[in-house]
Amino acid sequence: MSQHQVSYDIYKPFGPSVLKSSVPQAGIDLVNKIADDILRDKRKRKDYDYSSNLAGNIKYEVALPLKDVPSVELLINKLASEYVTKTVKNYIDLEKTHMSYTAWLVSQYAGDFNPLHIHDANLSGVCFLKLPPGYEEEYRREDHHPTIGCLEFLGSVPNHFAEHSYLVKPQIGDLYLFPSWLAHQVYPFRSKGERRSMSFNIHLRAKDPGKAVGKGVDV
């Protein structure tokens, strides 16, 4: 080898995985029906209020009883199982693992936002349920930095050698699943109307209380 040649390998051992899927329209319609029932009733909004558990500057954040939407709960369970199998199968034995869920609705209006935060769980997710009628036009007009109403994941500090940001433009029915420690934020928009989403946390616990889920590693 000459003095001007170098030998090297490039590895990519780090970087969280984000799963993208979609919820069938029937599931979206059912969740929206439940959401409408809660959000349109002042007393139910108070009874189901979940905002004290969250970081957002959002008009309404209310608990969602996921058991009332069994088809969506089953889909989330399947996707979470696939995610674990594909990403951390060497550490977590699904046969010995129980998944529990917490879900809530985020009803966001013009100027509302969710600051950079993480979740206290193993896996987390979001599914977009509704967008303001003028959102697409507003998004197209934003030609400088199109973050209007978007979800952004931040995987590291900005640098020249790796992508540190993953920006998601909301589309009704799209579902994203990610590790709960992955920092993310939601940008505001100006359009009239509601941007509605369903968020959820998944906790992985050993079926045998005396044993760990895997080799001492959480997702």
Domain count, the chain: 1
* pLDDT, position 146: 81
- Give the pLDDT of residue 218: 45
pLDDT for position 219: 45
Provide the sign of the torsion angle of the four alpha carbons 35, 39, 40, 43, taken in this order: positive
Q: Considering the domain boundaries, does residue 11 fall inside one?
A: no
- pLDDT beyond 90 at 39: yes
Mean pLDDT of all residues belonging to the chain: 87
Asked whether residue 219 is domain-assigned, the answer is no
Phi first, then psi, for residue 183 (nearest 5°) are -65, 140
Q: Who wins on pLDDT, 184 or 53?
A: 184
Closest C-alpha among 62, 30, 21 to residue 45: 62
Residue 114: domain span: 19-206
Which residue would you say has higher pLDDT here, 57 or 4? 57
Asked whether the beta carbons of 201 and 171 are under 8 A apart, the reply is no
pLDDT of the residue at 217: 44
Q: Quick count: other Cβ atoms within 10 Å of Cβ 50?
A: 17
The string of DSSP letters for 19-88 reads EEEE--HHHHHHHHHHHHHHHT-HHHHHHTB-GGG---B-SEEEE--GGG-HHHHHHHHHHHHHHHHHHH
User: What's the confidence (pLDDT) of residue 207?
Assistant: 81
Q: pLDDT digit string (tens) for 63-81?
A: 999 999 999 999 999 999 8
pLDDT tens for 150-173 read 999 988 776 777 778 889 999 999
Q: Is residue 215 part of a domain?
A: no
pLDDT (average), residues 37-44? 96
CATH number at residue 109: 2.60.120.620
Q: State pLDDT tens for residues 103-161.
A: 999 999 999 999 999 999 999 999 999 999 999 999 988 765 689 999 999 887 767 77
- Per the domain annotation, does 217 fall within a domain? no
